[in-house]
Structure 1
Amino acid sequence: MAAEPVLDEKSVQDTKQSPTNSDHDIEAGESQPGELHRGLQGRHMQMIAIGGSIGAGLFVGSGGALQSGGPASLVLGFIIIGMMLLATVNALGELAVLFPVNGAFFAYSVRFIDKSWGFAMGWQYAIGWLITLPFEITAAGITISYWHEYNIGIWIAVFLITLIIVQFFGVKGYGEVEFVLGIIKIVAVIGFIIFGIIVNCGGVPTDDRGYIGFRYWNGKDGNHAFRNGFKGFCSVFVTAAFAFGGTEMVGLAAAEAADPRKSLPKATKQVFWRIAGFYVVSLLIMGIIVPNNSEDLLGSSGANTKASPFVLAIKYAGVKGLPSVFNAVITISVMSVANSCTYGSTRTMQALAAAGMGPKWLGYIDKKGRPFWPVIIQMAFGLLAFVNESADGGTVFNWLLSLTGLSSFFVWGSICLSHIRFRQGWKHAGRSLDDLPFKSPLGVYGSYFGLFLVVICLMATFYVDLFPIGGSPNAENFFMGYIAAPIALALFAFWKVYAKDWQFGVRVEDMDLDTGRRDYADLPPPEAERKQSVVRKLSTAIF
């Protein structure tokens, strides 16, 4: 049998201490040398939730989805994936507030679903971010070609060195970088929405199209609301999943949050506004003012910002200078995602090692709270970006990225299933939902709905990979799109054999509901605590 995972030693110690000492440690965010530091404040957590994953998937990849599926399919696809994420993040919030352990959803899969499945999800997630980093660095370098054709190797080196410098500052460096870059991205998206409304109403003098309305949705001149029928609609899911990838990072950051009881519920509630405002509304506006039959959209992949539908929308309106500004935003967004890559992979690898599911040396944390060797490995993987100097670099990258193609769906489905299983175990233990410091507003039914949508999206993706748009079935394209599934099953089988763990699933009576659990019993509710803080400040000011 596999060894019981030691998911978070500090959290285990907290549960053994007196309530007073434990609560003090929780609220003060204190950490011991050689442990992950609780340096993420509420503002960091909220910005990670709102703007953490806004990047090339939204700003560039959406162009290909617009061309293949049409504007209506684009918006509906993002709404469906957004609903899935809303249920997933709320379920993750409930688990992470109660168990803010390192590894988050990987640890929950081990504890509530199956150890081997947790192993598979953990390593697939870590490897996915490892491989995504060189792609994002390359993408950032490509965005520079918008202004001038430089040797991409120069910019790969510049961006990689920048990321290495950020790592010196540990979790606070990650939090501050995401906070600043997140604000820039949010301002840019809001600005684009306002700009798009003005363009659509014919308020830009340099745009001779006048009032546009839903001209590009009416089926005339080669523009259609739904392009390529059902296949076109299904093709949007992969793009949307890539664009939303990283949303779950807020749960992963719980172990390094100063006060997860306060910051996590606020952060998860922000996800709705991010989905509705920053994704759905911006894509709706973009699909209204950009013709979906434009040949410029054919190159909308990777980080080809010259084919970004957001940049094209500004170009078609004839506004000078503004396309360069938005291209700079895309460059910043890609670097933000690269920063998240580093955080996601390093924390997951360290958690796997701490749980006995990886080499022990990967679990080492230095005095500044950094998982030292995982950071080194992640930075070394960044060097793969220089493969682009080779003539076959693009082919290599496509196959590497295919390893992570469906990993987001597996992770999100595992989070929903972990929440369902946790609720079953909590009920079986005779514990009340009133004892939970934070309950998902959507409840366990939201997790069932999220899991159902994950299955539907996997089926739709399978269909499109097997029968591609405008082509016949192709074995190479199918495996490139769906290879992540057999890899997940292979990892699952490997741990079953290696650990000689022949039990499938964790029985509700055997679920560990206490290791790493934070005890908030002696603390007032966040609202009451906030009011007490106000009273204390007023008393200090008066007396």
Structure 2
Amino acid sequence: MTTPDEAGTKVIARDNASRSSSRDEEMGILTPVENNQLKKSLKNRHLQMIAMGGAIGAGLFIGSGAALSAGGPGSVLICYTLIGIMMLFTCQALAELSVVYPSNGAFFEHCLRFLDPTWGFAIGWGYALTWLIILPFELIAASITIQFWNDTINMGVWVTVFLVVLALIQIFGVRGYGEVECVLSVIKIIACSGFIILGIVINTGAVGRKGYLGGEYWSDPGAFRNGFEGFASVFVIASFSFGGTELAGLAAAESENPEKSVPKACKQVFWRISFFYILNLFIMGLILPSDDPRLLGSEGANSKASPFVLAIQDAGIKVLPHIMNGVITIAVISVANSSSFGFTRTVQAMAQVGMAPTCLAKIDKQGRPMRCTIVLLLFALIAYVGLAPNDAGMKLFDWLLAVTGVTYFFIWGSICLAHIRFRKAMQVQGLSLDLVPYKPSGGVWGSWIALIFNGVCLAAAFYVCAKPKPGATAAETAEKFFKGYLAAPVMFVLWLGWKVKTGEWRLQTPLHAIDLKTDAKFRDPVNFEPEEKKPLRKRMLGALF
């Protein structure tokens, strides 16, 4: 058993080349081809804005309309709040792991270390494929938003424009990504804040044609719609809306000071959820009826069906719908920008340990994984296929997006489980938690709660996907199920495939065999004082500020 003194060096520098090859082969991981280093250019303000704006995208501005239509304002308020709590605990668990192990690949490498290399392989590729497929879809979505102003220009022109802009951003590396996200996040934050004020003004009758509304739409058509199926549908839509929240943890490896900036960024999750999601959607439910037929078109990327745009149009305000559509366009571009970051960093980390083509592990002198970027941009060209007439191309995208369906639930659940096993391994190996620089106030119980919530999300998604629509044929029901739940068997195939390749059938790494020392950024066990045990009230407040 390792003693605290043996494990507690001041800072164990990251050195992939020093790992034991015999241990790596035993775990099914190949020796890294190069000790490439990403450039640590992200400042605290970059991580703050990445965390703040990471989940504010089309899921809020457009997808919330489908949620409002499916379950009503009551279901929207409850489900988004519950998912928000889940993401708060998940991000804080990721913050603790990222501070101790600020590696490129983040939760991919956490899964390798604390769960099982095979599951890490499945998580890494699942996450990479999600961003790879989302990118061309977002390019099309951004082009669709332009049709709000001009539908005479072929959308292929706008796809080209957005693709060129994205490629130019990549030239500036992680600093370019950070600066762009800062600007776009500020715009989205201002828009959300402005809509809250406008919504209150509309609801009180100061602006608009409907007069004072109050809680009228909560009574008629009602706070809840479509029973349990409607509630479960909102639960699933809400879960998908928070995709990208984990990017702050992925950016830890390129942060100048991850020990301070990552926890602070992850604490912003609470305020982001409370202010930008829950409060915005509560106001939305007060000024737009959930039975509005126009909301039925908000399942895709149609900004004309955005509940934000519809509410402003109904109030008779002529200029603001155009401004809000511009914000939606910016939000979609922001997601495309995040796609490039999420894919390239994950694949580069996987390539370093032999779980992706080793040629993709190369990082240039400016600290950019350009080979991964080239692969991403080449795949983005498939966006032009989506512009084929008669929606033939979009049918292909429907099946491509099915591969990403419930992947986030596996990723978030794995983050929580990795945190649980990290804490357990520390206990089994006799290491004090005082060595850990940052510990979330929810502790390991927060991770357990979030893990259970992810299981509930998977069950809700299964119910929604498997339940036949009235009058649907067996073939239509099967197609509906696989389009919504295909990601689950894909994850299983990835897991099983790597098991077969490596011949290692162990389900998880034993706690006593988990390597807690390599690459760890523990506190100095000699020159620090144990943390004062704070009352629960102060610890919970510390999670928010």
Distance 2:211 2:109 in 1: 55
Distance 2:102 2:57 in 1: 27
Distance 1:511 1:73 in 2: 42
Aligned 1:80-479 pairs, distance under 5 A: 80-149=82-151, 150-204=153-207, 207-218=208-219, 220=220, 223-391=221-389, 392-468=392-468, 470=470, 472=472, 474-479=477-482
> In structure 2, what is the equivalent of residue 516 of structure 1?
519
Q: What residue identity is the alignment partner of 1:418?
A: A
Kindly provide the CA deviation profile for residues 435-474 of structure 1, in whole angstroms up to 9, marking residues without a partner as x: 1100011100000000000011111110111115555560
Q: What is the CA distance between 1:13 and its match in structure 2? A: 3.6
CA RMSD of aligned residues (A): 1.8
Q: What residue identity is the alignment partner of 1:202?
A: G
- Contact 2:60 2:277 (8 Å CA) reproduced: yes
- Report the TM-score, using the length of structure 2 for normalisation: 0.89
Distance 1:33 1:407 in 2: 30
Q: What is the CA distance between 1:114 and its match in structure 2? A: 1.0
SS at structure 2 position matched to 1:12: coil
- Contact 2:435 2:523 (8 Å CA) reproduced: no
Kindly provide the CA deviation profile for residues 102-130 of structure 1, in whole angstroms up to 9, marking residues without a partner as x: 11101111111111111000001001100
- Contact 2:15 2:35 (8 Å CA) reproduced: no
Unaligned 5+ segments in structure 2 are 1-11, 19-33, 532-545
Q: What is the CA distance between 1:281 and its match in structure 2? A: 0.5
Q: What residue identity is the alignment partner of 1:93?
A: A
> In structure 2, what is the equivalent of residue 25 of structure 1?
none
Which consecutive aligned stretches of 4+ in structure 1 deviate over 4 angstroms post-superposition? 468-473, 522-525
Distance 1:442 1:470 in 2: 43
> In structure 1, what is the equivalent of residue 495 of structure 2?
492
Distance 1:138 1:523 in 2: 55
Aligned 1:9-20 pairs, distance under 5 A: 11-13=13-15
Kindly provide the CA deviation profile for residues 315-366 of structure 1, in whole angstroms up to 9, marking residues without a partner as x: 1111110000010000001000100000000000001111221111011111
SS at structure 2 position matched to 1:401: helix
Pick aligned residue for 1:76 from 75, 78, 90: 78
Distance 2:497 2:35 in 1: 34
- For residues 471 and 369 of structure 1, do their structure 2 counterparts lie closer, same or farther at Cα, with a shift above 3 Å needed? farther
Identity percentage over the alignment?
52
- For residues 192 and 74 of structure 1, do their structure 2 counterparts lie closer, same or farther at Cα, with a shift above 3 Å needed? same
SS at structure 1 position matched to 2:222: coil
Q: How many residues align?
A: 497
Distance 1:331 1:468 in 2: 34
Distance 2:96 2:385 in 1: 42
- Contact 1:15 1:516 (8 Å CA) reproduced: no
- Report the TM-score, using the length of structure 1 for normalisation: 0.89
- For residues 201 and 384 of structure 1, do their structure 2 counterparts lie closer, same or farther at Cα, with a shift above 3 Å needed? same
SS at structure 1 position matched to 2:396: helix
Distance 2:258 2:316 in 1: 47
- Contact 1:35 1:366 (8 Å CA) reproduced: no
> In structure 2, what is the equivalent of residue 38 of structure 1?
40
Kindly provide the CA deviation profile for residues 87-107 of structure 1, in whole angstroms up to 9, marking residues without a partner as x: 100000000001001111011
Unaligned 5+ segments in structure 1 are 1-9, 17-31, 528-543
Q: What is the CA distance between 1:524 and its match in structure 2? A: 7.7
Kindly provide the CA deviation profile for residues 385-444 of structure 1, in whole angstroms up to 9, marking residues without a partner as x: 101231301111111101001011110000000000100001111111111100011100
- For residues 343 and 43 of structure 1, do their structure 2 counterparts lie closer, same or farther at Cα, with a shift above 3 Å needed? same
- Contact 1:85 1:450 (8 Å CA) reproduced: yes
